[in-house]
Amino acid sequence: MTEVLYLKDCYLKEFDATVISVKDNKYITLDKTAFYPVSGGQPNDTGKIISSGIEYNVIFVGKFDNNISHEVDKEGLKQGDKVHCIIDWNRRYKLMRMHTAAHILDSVIHKESGALFTGNQLGEDKSRLDFNLETFDREKMQSYITKANEEIKKSKEVKISFMPKEEASKLSMLLEWDYGDMKELRVIDIEGIDKQPCGGTHIKNTSEIKEIIFDSVDNKGKGRKRIYFKLKD
Ligand SMILES: [Zn+2]
């Protein structure tokens, strides 16, 4: 099983690792990785794996059978190779800010309306959140975003801890989520704002988000509402 470095340190941009397996000349597993695999609405990281001076671009990262697989753009990596890996930090940092903003907005909407979160898709430029709300309007959504921005400006710390699954899953605001056979869950605590299990990547302080900008709302039918947002650069 791959040691997952981003669970404890989301700011790790480069690391050394050993190639554990190579499938079809392009799917690489490593003994440890900081590359985030596509999961929970957060896109995968991209970047480079370097071996003997040759750079292999990481074009996709996914999780299969508890292993994180890195798809590279060319052949050449072999089992046992010692490699140096570099995450595309510009992309990852945008997604970390988006992801943490989504936690705050999610929490504010839940507190204000009682709605539960049913899905999300984060992007580098624009993200969306889905809720099981019966009704809402633009003005209400704008007021939730204003409230979320007031919280962001308080420069709250974002803390990582690990808890037994039974205890951690009670904190979740997700309508449903399959935690599989995990015994311990990673819990993200945005001081006084939101506390819930999450395996994604987050910033250390809410001030790094700067500001959430309302984009649009979409009515996806009865009890299904969608909000799109951006972040200030
Ligand atoms: Zn999260």
- Residue 13 sits in a domain whose CATH number is 2.40.30.130
Please give the pLDDT value at position 170: 80
Q: Who wins on pLDDT, 115 or 44? A: 44
d(CA 68, CA 21): 11
Domain match, 101 and 156 both = yes
Residues 18 and 79 in one domain: yes
Q: Do 76 and 107 fall within a single domain?
A: no
Residue 1 forms part of a structural domain: no
Residue with more model confidence, 93 or 167 = 93
Q: Is residue 221's pLDDT more than 70?
A: yes
- Which comes out higher in pLDDT, residue 206 or 169? 206
**DSSP β-ladder status, 27-30 and 14-23:** antiparallel
Give 6 Cα–ligand 1 centroid separation in angstroms: 12
Domain that holds residue 110: 92-231
Residue 53 Cα, ligand 1 centroid: separation in angstroms? 35
Range name among 19-23, 177-181, 200-204 with the lowest pLDDT average: 177-181
Dump pLDDT digits (tens) for 6-42.
999 999 999 999 999 999 999 999 999 999 999 989 9
In angstroms, what is the span from residue 154 Cα to ligand 1's centroid? 19
Is the pLDDT at 175 greater than 60? The verdict is no
pLDDT in tens, 38-67: 998 999 999 999 999 999 999 999 998 879
Domain-terminating residue out of 87, 121, 138: 87
Asked if the model's pLDDT at residue 159 lies above 60, the reply is yes
- CA 118 to centroid of ligand 1, rounded, Å: 14
Instruction: State which of 49, 72, 87 marks the end of a domain.
Output: 87
Whether 123 maps to a domain, the answer reads yes
The verdict on 107 and 216 lying in the same domain is yes
CA of 23 to the centre of ligand 1 (A): 30
Query: At which of 39, 65, 87 does a domain end?
Result: 87
- Are 80 and 111 found together in one domain? no
Q: Summarize the confidence of residues 116-140 as an average pLDDT.
A: 89
* CA 195 – ligand 1 centroid, Å: 10
Q: Is 170 a member of any domain?
A: yes
With respect to residue 168, please indicate whether it lies within any of the assigned structural domains: yes
pLDDT at 178 over 70: no
Rounded distance from Cα 139 to ligand 1 centre (Å): 26
Clarify whether residues 117 and 223 are in a common domain: yes
pLDDT at 201 over 60: yes
% the chain with pLDDT above 70: 96
**31 CA → ligand 1 middle, Å:** 24
CB atoms within 10 A of CB 105: 27
Tell me the CA–centroid distance for residue 25 and ligand 1, in Å.
Answer: 33
10 alpha carbon – ligand 1 mean position (Å): 11
Supply the pLDDT for residue 109: 92
Distance from Cα 65 to the centre of ligand 1, integer Å? 22
Q: How far is the CA of 67 from the centre of ligand 1 (A)?
A: 20
Tally of structural domains, the chain: 2
Average pLDDT of the chain is: 92
Q: Please indicate, yes or no, whether residues 156 and 214 belong to a single structural domain of this protein.
A: yes
20 C-alpha to ligand 1 centroid (Å): 28
107 with 55, same domain: the answer is no
pLDDT at position 180, please?
A: 63
Considering the domain architecture, whether residues 46 and 114 belong to the same structural domain is answered as: no
Residue 86: the pLDDT is 98
Reported pTM: 0.93
Residue 179 has pLDDT above 70, yes or no: no
CA of 219 to the centre of ligand 1 (A): 25
The reply to whether 75 and 110 lie within a common domain is no
Compute the distance from residue 113 Cα to the ligand 1 centre, in Å. Answer: 21
Here the CATH number for the domain that contains residue 172 is 3.30.980.10
